[in-house]
Amino acid sequence: DIVMTQAPLSVSVTPGESASISCRSSKSLLHSNGITYVYWYLQKPGKSPQLLIYRMSNLASGVPDRFSGSGSETDFTLKISRVEAEDVGIYYCGQLLENPPTFGGGTKLELK
């Protein structure tokens, strides 16, 4: 299985500031078709996960453009600009290159 490793475990951010979360995969997520199959999800307290970013850098429908995804073949970053109170929760990266799909351990974002 592809192992997804996230850092840090938690991040505390002042509202209005930016935050970055890292994710590393145990193998390249770049397919020969040029698509990188890494995804970012946010699980708000008591809620189901919601898709933020798909295929490394594409914003999911309805997601504010304060969120952006970037990376290489094995190292990925989710950046949140101008953090707001509604961004609090646990962020997960995931991969869909190979079965089984796997997820990172999560990064908890809190407000200062």
Q: How far is the CB of 60 from another protein (least distance, A)?
A: 6
Closest approach of another protein to the CB of residue 84, in Å: 22
- Rounded to the nearest whole angstrom, what is the least distance from the CB of residue 49 to another protein in the complex? 6
When the beta carbons of 8 and 15 are compared against another protein, the nearer one is: 8
Residue nearer to another protein on the CB measure, 79 or 101: 101
Residue 24 beta carbon to another protein: minimum distance, rounded to whole angstroms: 15
Q: Which residues bind another protein (CB under 8 A)?
A: 1, 35, 37, 39, 41, 48-51, 54-55, 60-61, 92, 94, 96, 99-106
CB-CB contact of 103 with 94 (8 Å): yes
Nearer to another protein, 79 or 97 (CB): 97
Q: Residue 30 and residue 97: Cα distance in Å, rounded?
A: 8
DSSP annotation of 108: E
CA distance 95 to 37: 6
Q: Which is nearer to another protein, 81 or 102 (CB)?
A: 102
DSSP 2-42: --EEEE-SEEEE-TTS-EEEEEEESS--B-TTS-B-EEEEE
Contact 25, 40 (CB under 8 A): no
